[in-house]
Every structure is written in structure tokens, then in C-alpha cells.
Structure 1
Amino acid sequence: MKTKSSHSAENGFSPVRSVDEPDVESLNKIIGSATNFFKQSSLNDFCDGVISHIATLYGLHKEDIICAKLGSLFDRRESNIRFCGVAGKNDNLFNHSLNQLSDPHVEKLLEDAFTLKHEILLENESVLYFISTDFQMALYVRAHLTREDSLYRTLQYFLSSISSGYISIVEVIHLRSTAYNDQLTHLPNRNDFIKLLNNPDYSTSSDGLHVVLVDINHFSDINDGLGQDVGDLLLKAISKRLRASFHETVKLARIGADVFGFLGPAKYLLPNQISDKFVAPFRAGQYALPVRISMGLCKIESEFDNGLNIIKRCNIALNLAKKKAGLNYRWYNSELESHTAWRLEHIRKLSIAYEQRKLQVWYQPQLDFKSRRIVGVEALLRWPDGHGCFIAPDIFVPLAEYSGLIVDMGYWVLRESLTAIKRLRQQGINDIRIGVNVSIMQLRNSDFVEQVKDMLTEYDIEPTRLELEITENILMDEPQIVIESLHLLRNFGVQIAIDDFGTGFSSMSYLQKMPLNRLKIDRSFLKSCSHAHPSILAETVITLAQKLNLKTIAEGVEREEQAEYIESLGCDEVQGFLYAKPLRFNELSNTLQMQLNNDSHDTKLSS
């Protein structure tokens, strides 16, 4: 196909000109520059750079070169020819359809190249053609070319480079999308949120900016119980509602599996304003799911604040909000960060102490009021500080629970306790029960019941010699799991006690479902009680236990008046410094041996 072209400056193109052969140095510049073009982050910038370079090098106008593309890496079904390389006065045509070009002749030449899938070389103009697996490209040049020209070969190479560069740029765009956008909700992700925090727009608020992290409580239960598909639908529903609910100056992101981040003017991001968005259930497929949240909030104090540090501060507040009953949010303050640093340091020390077996198990005797004999002991974990004192359990037990160490430590205490029972039995002491505290994290383990059974079998201990103590508040967290596990253990013969009874929030309905043997009356009910100063709470607990046919044991008894009063109410057993402090195993063994000897002596006298 050979035609003559008669374009004039009126239709946007310069008159036809011949092109001189480039020298070797110029060719090298062209070929070497392709790599630099690949680094452009914008498709438009990339192609504009290519065209500008060609035009400058060969004395052409930018409008003399037009590159078009058929097909798309974004959408394989794309059937329109679109401009992917335009410059100068045509720059506004980028990514527009070919029919937007004001020159029908050039439009027709490009269409013909795509139809023929071949280059078109005319007397005064040329169209080069390139095809890849994903798209086709055609490059119009207002210049005469022959296959023998070095310019022809150079432009062919450049067209190939443009194609490769286009693929590279699309990959960059995809990688950037993956790096900065959440693929499920299409919200900005954590990386993009950090970028926003690094450069917040203070002009949006005269009252300062708030940053909020919102955690979906028990989201894993939804995934586990209803399936991940439902969980994904829930996250989409939440993001959709949040997008529609806040002022346009509030920036929203998904920064974790079940955590959303907010950045915006203080007046739009107050705790009650966010909580209100979660009052109504969310539709996730066939389910209408109620959602409860926890929030950590902080203020951006300075334009020099770092995004990572801001998120860290919000996380500190969020973690405390998740652990605090009642209020579902916490504001960050510097004291929280100091406490966090203290906590992490002590968790590190506790972990080392556990690994190096520096923790100890002591045993506090429990006496029967009627016989005044030791009938049981409670295993108590001790952490020596290395200076002759001990770190209080009120300090290190919460640290163990927070870090998850409590599970391994709990099993270790149980093994130590069963070892103690076995050693006592070898000494002829067969009637002692041992109480071991159990945490909710242990009860959550699916194999906890089997672990306890296996240990009892391994140590050849009668299940009735083991009493597992749980706190009342455990029933507030997944009560069904707790109750089912305890029923299995009780059926096996293990005894069950509630520790510090009366200080928690369990309901009577839960109490009646629990397979209990014993209620332990909290020391706070007995602190100042006596016949002269009766304790209504202690009396109520004992009466309740008697109605439920449960045994009772009073904790923390230190005075004779306390003991006399509590015994008069019908309490069965007692534990406290009045009778015995916690003992090392050897001390306990000696004490029980003396009791055994006294029992034998009394038997001989009675006979």
C-alpha cells in the first residue's frame, strides 16, 4: 500500500522532512536511555519521555510521533485502540480512544497497521508494528523510513523497549497497589497509612488531629465458626459503612487482619462517634452479625511525629482497652508507654527465669476445721528476685498471662505438683489433696483435658488427689468452653474449686452448671470479721455452698477471732498464716510426716 500524504501545519503536524542518519554515539544514547525510561512511575511520563527523546535526537516535533496500543494488561478484553504515547499538543489524548485524534488519515494508518498486523512504510510517513502476548503496539512517525535505515532498526528497538517499559510500568503499578492498598476492602493498607501519618494534613482541623485504631473483638471466632468467606464479607461490610459514615477529611485504612485505622480532625474522631457506627449489625451473606470493638486513640502532638511511633502509641492504648473490662477505649499517654517498657522488660526476665528453672513451687497447707488435720495444700508459684526476696504473684502472673508464658508455666506447675504427691505417697502419706490454679489460656487449649488425664496416668496419681482451681472471672470469657472442659475432668475424678469466690461476676446460672466440689472464700470477706464484727458476705457464701452441697474453705485467715467466727458459720476448711505459711516441699514433707506420726501415736493410745 503506497500513498502520498499531504498534511499541513493546520491539522497539528509539521511539514514532512527527511531524517539524517544518526551517528553511533546517538544510537547508543537511544538504546541506553531505555533502561532509564523503565524507572518512570507513570505510564504517561514514560511514553512522553520516549517520544521527546526520539524527537530531539532526529529533529522532529513531538506531534510527529504517536504511539497507540490495542489490548491491555489490566483487562485482556479491551478492544479499543488507545493512545499510549503522545506528547506536545497531543498530550491530553493519553489513554483516550484513537477516534479522539483530529487527523483521520493518521487514525486510518494506525488502524490499518493493527488490522494487517504489519508495518506500513510510505513515502513521507511510516507506521511500525509490534506484537506481544498481551497487546499490540503501533508507532506512527512522520518521516520516510526503509528497512535498511539505521533509524528504522532503532525505532523498532525503541518500540520493543516501549513495550517492555509498558509491561514494567504496569508491574510497578500492580506492585504499588499491592504494597499500599488492601486487596480485600480496597482501603489503604498499613504502609499507606504510615505514609499518611508521616505527612498529615494539618489544614483540615484547627483542633488538632486524632489517630484511632479499631479492633474487631473476637473476629477469629467468626472465621472459625462461620468460615473465612463470611469473615471477608464482614470486613467488606464494615469498610463500606465506615467509608460512608465519616467526613471526607477522615482517612480510613485497614492496617491488620481485623484492625482499622483512622486519621482525621479531632472533632470527627471521638470514641462515641466511632462506637455509634458499630451499633447496628453488619450484613455478611445470610448473617446479620453484631460487632463489638476496642479502640486505642492518640493525638498527633507534633508535625515531627513519626508514623510508626504514632501507630505504636495507638497499639499500646488499644491493647489496654482490650484487656480492661467495661470501657472499650483508651487514650494514649506517656505513662502507658513507660509501663509498656517496664512490662516488656519483666516479661523478658520472667521468660529467662522460667527457662533457667529459677521459678519455685511452694505449698500452703489447708486444714479441716473439725479434725485440725492438714487435708490438702495449694501449689503456689514463687519467683525469687535473686536478693533473698520474691516478686509478688500479683505482678508476674498477669505478665505470664499477657505474654502467653502462663500455658507452659501452668503445665510445669502441674507436673511439679503431681511429682510432690507421688513423693509424699512414697513416704506413706496418701490422703493429701493438692490444688493447682488454672488460667483461661490453658482451658482454651483443645488438648488441655487430655493433657491433665495423661499426666495423672503418667504419675500414677488418683484423680481425686488433684483439685484444679479456677477464678470466677474465667466464666466471663467463653463460659461454655470452660464448663465443658471441667465436666470432662470432673467425670474423670478431678476435683474442681472456684478460687476467690464472690469477687467476680459469674451468675447463679453458671454456678449451677459448674461441676464444683468447693468454694474458696476470698480473704477480703474475712479481713476484719469476728463474732463482734460479722461478715454478711462470708455468711452468704457459706450458706449458698451448703445449699448447693459444696465444701467451703476460708483463705487468708490470720487471727484466732477470724477462725472462730468462720468455723461457727459452718465453714469446712481453712488456709492462712494462722496455721501455716507456704512451705518448700521438704518442709511440707516434714510437717506431714509429723502429722502421720501423731496419727499413729493417737491410734496406739486409743487401742
Structure 2
Amino acid sequence: MSEERIVFLKEEETDPIESDYPQGFSADDHCCWDILIVDDDPDVHDATVFALKGLLVFDRELRFHHAYSAKEALSVIAQNPGIALILLDAVMETEDAGLAIVKAIRDDLGRDDVRIILRTGQPGQVPELETITRYDINDYKTKSELTRTKLMTSVIAALRSWTQIRRIGKSRRGLEKIVEASNELLQEQGLQRFADGVITQMAGLFDLEPEGIVCVMDPGTGWALSDALPGSECCIIAAAGQYRRYINKNLGELQNREISESIFASLRNRRNIIGEKSLTVFFGEASGTAFATWIASPVPLKDLDTHLLEVFCSNISICANNITLVNRLKEQAWIDPGLQMPNLPALVEKMKTILAQEGERPLTLCILDIDGFNQINEILGYEYGDEILRALVARLREFLPPETFAARVASDVFALIGAPETFSQSLLKKISLMPIQTPDGERTLSISASLTSIDSTDGNASTHLRNGFIALKRAKSEGIGQIVRYSGSIGTETRERIRLLHELKGAFAAHKLFLVFQPQYMMPERKIFCCEALLRWKNDEGEFIPPDTFIPLAEQAGLIVPMGIWILRSALAALKTIHQAGFPDIKIAVNVSAVQMRHQDFLSELDLALEETGIDPRHLELEITEFISIIGIDNVLHLLNEIRSRGISLAIDDFGTGYSSLASIDKWPIHRIKIDKSFIKHLDDAEEKARLVDLLISLADRLSLNILAEGVETQSQFDRLLELGCQEIQGFLLSTPLGLEDLIRLLQKGVADAC
């Protein structure tokens, strides 16, 4: 059916009554419907007006008002008391701006009559459930699902509701009961409580005893099976008095045939049925779910009461829509859409409930993480990754007791809550050993896990969840397939690392990090040919934090990328100063990590730093470690060749401590090997270390590479290295790391000594 082919039935014509309109709004204005569009996006205004252009609702045109902020909206509403409908953006200048407007309209302006339709362009932005249920809101839609037909339908339904509320506004005191009923029902959080409230409010409205039954029917079965046994598709969701024992039973089980037939007829024909001694009311909500309420009435209803009944049903339908909306929002907020299981917010609520139940038996939080899941997605594709997740969920349900609570808290991270004995090592290993089919054959899925006791004396839900992730991180750092139980020592260590990282970020932002430069010497003449730029950090207490403590933190947090750019620029700027001081042949060595080199902008940042400082690339040496091989041999070769093509030299730092093979090193376009200081410090007392150093020097010679020994601290080490044929050294024996001015003075002293 085309969206343009819409036919609307006319309402019964009535003459406008002056007193039916609010102060400042006259009967002359009844030719138009006043609609306010509130949205901070002008395109939304234009699109809405275009979609509703030419629409006649009960022979009246639409007149639009516009507001682009919460403040402007409230001003327009205050100045235009005839506004019947507000199309309101749920998220504008702030996330709760739309809901704040709703509160101001209802509470501050006292406009209970105006209809409100919430719209949002952000499907993941869920309004506060408490606010949605507290205030009378017609509908909540994402902008993407509001087609022209759906928008027109929503507008017409809202204006119909506005009309009905206004007509009855001055005609009968019973309106107060209807409004009170609507407000009370909107506060109900569940369908059964809502239905219970319908019975109670109907009884109060018509001064009847609350002896009633409310049923709900699925539109996919009940209305199609008109010849079925009456009540066979209906479930009794609420009842009062003598019928309460039928709650959650099928209507066909009700022994009173007259009641079941009346309810079924109301649902099938979608209308109210007024009997001699009973009243059966029909109402439905937007999704198509239908309700029918039967209540005993000893006397027939008067005509005016019948009119009130129609208005009551309209209001109850609005309430039902809101209850459905609340349930839908709850599902979106607490259910993972991909796996149809509880998500992180649901897990937190579950833990809050557990911690509030004192005296219950202890429970354990188990967090599972699939090792290497990102690589699985990259190699096999996200669809295959989703299949693995579904298979893991099925495996959890197979091996875990049915009372175990399970939730998905991240991409491939799941949380389980159960008795401590549930999560035995053998069970977790059994879950972990899940075979998966890949294009290369069958492989075993590896899972890391953490275990945390849930105890109210140890903190709240957030604390326990944080502890679980701390332990999980420790498990993953120890290798694949590890299981770690959280302990106080793990928490203390992690919190100290977090504190240190926070201080490091602050120190870097405040420019409190600085460079020092350690000379590198040619042997045997001890002539400085290069200096290595080294990063230093002195905290606010004046203590130096060791680089091997804070550099790994920076790498793990991704801070090493901007920090590395700053180090490179600062080192090149210092080298420019050295050259200008009269030492144009000095080179500078700068350390770069695998994390930096893996960054997509590494080469462009390198080129920019050289261009801005005017340094010849031949005076720059980048020191890398063997760990760079983690980005892949082919990627390493391509990157190193790109660097080499610029004229920049390359050195392998800490050689002998990594994982690269001699075959791969032979292919790398490097100039220099730096022997790690762990080999040098034992030259004085360990002959096997001397043999290793001799082997490394010979290897470098065979590969036509320069060899530099780090950490030379004694004269005997110097002499031994000279004897073994080492060409270059660096260490405290000849110079400690120096500030730039001290380095220049040392260079000048060397020239003076030579003269």
C-alpha cells in the first residue's frame, strides 16, 4: 500500500465553545491545529513541515511553530497556549534537554493537555525510564523510523487525544478521575500492575466494586481465529476479587461462560460491550496488542458515563502505549541485541540486587575473554566471529547450571555469576577447549578468565566489576588460556600503575618530561660521533621515575605515539643547536617502539619533523628493538626500507634479548647492532659472557654491520671490548647522560684536548 493513500474518518462535528479553550486562545483559532516543532537541526524542521504539508485533520489545517533550543521552546509554549502538539527532539544541546522540556511543560507551565511526541536521531540514546513513565508522552520514535505515513498517523492520534481531553475538560467533574487514573497508570512499571490499575481506576470512575478481569491477546492469533473456542487465545494478566485465582491462566479456563464470551467478543470486534449487569471495555496500543476489561455493573451506565468511558479508553490506550514503550526501552537498555542475552547494565543491576540481599550464600563473578578474537575477526570476518560468539553462548548454557546468570559485557567478553563451586578449573578448561572450524582446519578456541568473590563488605557492584577486569587483564598478560583469581595485591599493583599512568599523562601535558643525551664513542680514540636522546621524568616530589617503568605504561596506553613525536622533534631541534655550535658531523640516535612504527602516520610525522628542523636525514639514526617483528616480517621490511630510502640509518637496540631470527635480521637494512648491557656487565667475571660478546661482534662483522656495546662502566670492560674488536661504546665509563648545554661543553672540551 502506498504511503500517500491515506483516508481519515471525520470526527462528529461540534461547535467550538469559548470556555473549552485556554485563556488567550479563542474560537476563531479553531480553523488550525497549532503544532510546535522543537529540534536543534533546521533540516528536521523543514523535513517535518514538508512531510505534513497539506494534511487536513478533521477538516483543520496545521499551523507550525518552531523552536531550536529548550529555552526557546518553553518561551514559544508560554506565548501560544493553543499549541496542541509538540514534536520534541529528545537530545539537543544536552542529552536530557528534551526530557527537561517535558518536565517544565507538565510541572512549571501546567500544560497537561498538550500532546508530546519524542523523537531522536540517536537509536542508542534511551531516555530515563522514570521520566518517560512519570509524564504523559504520546510516543517515542527514532527519526529514521518515522516515515511520512507513521508521522501523520502519530500526529493524528495525538490531535485526536488532545481533542477528546479538551471536550470533556469543562463538562464533568469525572475528568479529574480520568487524569488521575492516567497519571497513576503511567507510573506502573509492569504490564500486570498496569492491568491491575485499569480495574481499580475503572471501578473508581464508575463507583463500582473492583471485581474484574483484564486479558491480553496476541494480534497474530486471536483476531484471525474468529471461529475458535472463545477465550482459547487469551491470557488473564490481572484480576480482582473472586477472580484473582485466574491470573496467568487461559481465559477458556474461566468457569463463568458469560464473562469469557463477553471479553472474547470485545477483543474480536474491537469495541466496548455494555451489558445489563456488566461492562466490558476494549482498548489497544500502537503495537497492536489488544486488552479487554470486564467489570460487574449492577445498573446500566448513563449516556454521559458512556461518553466518559470512551475518553477513558482513549487515555488508557495512551497509557498502554507508554507501558509498552517502557518495556521496549528496558529491553533495548538491558538486552544485547546480537546474542539476545543480558548486557552490561543488566549485569550491574543483577550485582546490585545480590549485594542488597544480606545473608545469602556467597557468589562468584567470572569474566571470560576469547584470546585473539580481534585476529579471528580480521582473518575470518565479522560474520564468522559472530558465529563463534553464538557457539560460545550455547556452550555456556550447556555446561553451566541453569541458575547461572550470564551477560555479554563487551565484544567478546562475558560475565557469569554463580556459586563458587560452579567455576572449577576443569569446567572452565572444558568451556575453553571449544573446537572451531577455519579455512586452515579445526582449531581450539582459547579463553582467559578471572574469578572475583561478590561480597557486600568489599564494595559495590562497580568495584567488583572493576576487580574482575583487573584480574582478567592480569590473566591475559600471563599468556593465553590463563585463569586468575582477584586478590588485594593484584588490585594494589594495578591501582598503582593506573596512578602512575595518570601522573605521566599530566606530566607530559604540562611539559615536565625532558631529554638528556648520552655520547657514543669511537674506539680506541674515544671520539664522540653520535649521542643518544634519552627521555627522563622527575615527578613533583623530585624523584626520577625509571624509564623502564613509565615507557611500557606509555606504550600500553597509546601515549607513546604523541610522546614519540615530541621526542623526535625535540631531539632534532637539539641536534640543530649542536650543529650550530660548531659540530656539524655529530649524529643523534632516537629510540622508536613497535607501537609508534605501527601507527599509520609514522612516516609522515618523521618526514615533517626533518623538514621543519632542516636536519639532513643522514644525521639521524633510529634505534629499534627486535620486538618490532611483532608487526609482521613483510611489514617490517617494507617500513625499514622506506626509512632507509630517506637516508636515515637504523640500529637494533638491546640486541640478543628479542625473538628475531638471524635469517630475518640478515634481511633488515640496518647499520648498527647495539649489544645489550646485560652481556657487557659480566665481561669481568664470566668467560661465557665474553664468548657471547665475541660471537655477536663476529656476527656483526660477517654482516658488515657496526657494533656498539652499551653500558660500559669499567676500564676492564673497555679493554676487553677493545681486545674483542668492538668498534663503538656507550656507557658511564666515558660519560653519563647530559643536558644539552653540558653536552656541548663536553664536545668543546674534546676539541680543546685534541688541540
- The bucket for the TM-score relative to the shorter chain is 0.7 to 0.9
TM-score (normalised: structure 1): 0.82
Between the aligned partners of 2:388 and 2:258, the Cα distance in structure 1 is 54
Structure 1 partner of 2:348: 194
Structure with the larger RCO, 1 or 2 (CA within 8 Å, 6+ apart)? 1
1:223-372 to 2 correspondence within 5 Å? 223-224=377-378, 226-271=380-425, 273-282=427-436, 291-301=445-455, 305-324=459-478, 328-372=482-526
**Pair 1:486 & 2:640 matched:** yes
Q: CA deviation at 1:374?
A: 1.5
- Secondary structure in 2 matching 1:390: coil
1:102-501 to 2 correspondence within 5 Å? 102-114=255-267, 116-130=269-283, 133-135=286-288, 136-143=290-297, 148-200=302-354, 209-224=363-378, 226-271=380-425, 273-282=427-436, 291-301=445-455, 305-324=459-478, 328-385=482-539, 390-476=544-630, 481-501=635-655
Q: CA deviation at 1:531?
A: 8.7
**Pair 1:580 & 2:728 matched:** no
Report which stretch shifted further, 549-558 or 428-437.
428-437
Letter paired with 2:734? Y
Between the aligned partners of 1:155 and 1:284, the Cα distance in structure 2 is 64
Report which stretch shifted further, 227-236 or 488-497.
227-236
Q: CA deviation at 1:414?
A: 0.5
Letter paired with 1:445? H
Letter paired with 1:49? G
Q: Is the 8 A contact 1:347 1:399 kept in 2?
A: yes
Between the aligned partners of 1:203 and 1:287, the Cα distance in structure 2 is 50
Q: Return closer, same or farther for 1:441/1:76 CA change in 2, 3 Å cut-off.
A: farther
Structure 2 partner of 1:43: 191
Q: Is the 8 A contact 1:121 1:145 kept in 2?
A: no
Between the aligned partners of 1:478 and 1:260, the Cα distance in structure 2 is 30
Letter paired with 1:551? N
Structure 2 partner of 1:7: none
Q: CA deviation at 1:408?
A: 1.5
**Pair 1:541 & 2:701 matched:** no
- Structure 2: runs of 5 or more not aligned: 1-170, 226-232
Structure 1 partner of 2:712: 557
Between the aligned partners of 2:496 and 2:418, the Cα distance in structure 1 is 31
Report which stretch shifted further, 84-93 or 346-355.
84-93
Match of 2:721 among 566, 571, 595: 566
Between the aligned partners of 1:417 and 1:95, the Cα distance in structure 2 is 76
Q: Return closer, same or farther for 1:386/1:67 CA change in 2, 3 Å cut-off.
A: closer
Between the aligned partners of 2:721 and 2:354, the Cα distance in structure 1 is 64
Between the aligned partners of 1:171 and 1:387, the Cα distance in structure 2 is 56
Letter paired with 1:576? G
Structure 2 partner of 1:517: 671
Q: CA deviation at 1:577?
A: 0.9
- Structure 1: runs of 5 or more not aligned: 1-22, 602-607
**Pair 1:87 & 2:239 matched:** yes
Between the aligned partners of 1:526 and 1:592, the Cα distance in structure 2 is 26
Q: CA deviation at 1:77?
A: 10
Between the aligned partners of 1:62 and 1:532, the Cα distance in structure 2 is 96
- Secondary structure in 1 matching 2:654: strand
- Secondary structure in 1 matching 2:341: coil
Between the aligned partners of 1:292 and 1:479, the Cα distance in structure 2 is 25
Count of residues in Structure 1 that have an aligned counterpart in Structure 2: 574
1:222-263 Cα distance to aligned partner (Å, 9 max, x none): 445554444433322322222222233433221223321122
Between the aligned partners of 1:448 and 1:406, the Cα distance in structure 2 is 12
Letter paired with 1:243? R
Percent identity of the aligned residues?
A: 32
**Pair 1:34 & 2:188 matched:** no
Between the aligned partners of 1:218 and 1:577, the Cα distance in structure 2 is 43
Q: CA deviation at 1:462?
A: 2.7
Please provide the CA RMSD for this pair: 3.7
Q: Is the 8 A contact 2:697 2:707 kept in 1?
A: yes
Q: Is the 8 A contact 2:210 2:295 kept in 1?
A: no
Q: CA deviation at 1:557?
A: 0.5
Between the aligned partners of 2:686 and 2:178, the Cα distance in structure 1 is 103
Report which stretch shifted further, 231-240 or 408-417.
231-240
Q: CA deviation at 1:379?
A: 0.8
- Secondary structure in 2 matching 1:256: coil
Structure 1 partner of 2:202: 54
1:480-523 Cα distance to aligned partner (Å, 9 max, x none): 54444233212333222222122233344543443332221111
Q: Return closer, same or farther for 1:314/1:140 CA change in 2, 3 Å cut-off.
A: closer
Q: CA deviation at 1:559?
A: 1.0
Report which stretch shifted further, 585-594 or 554-563.
585-594
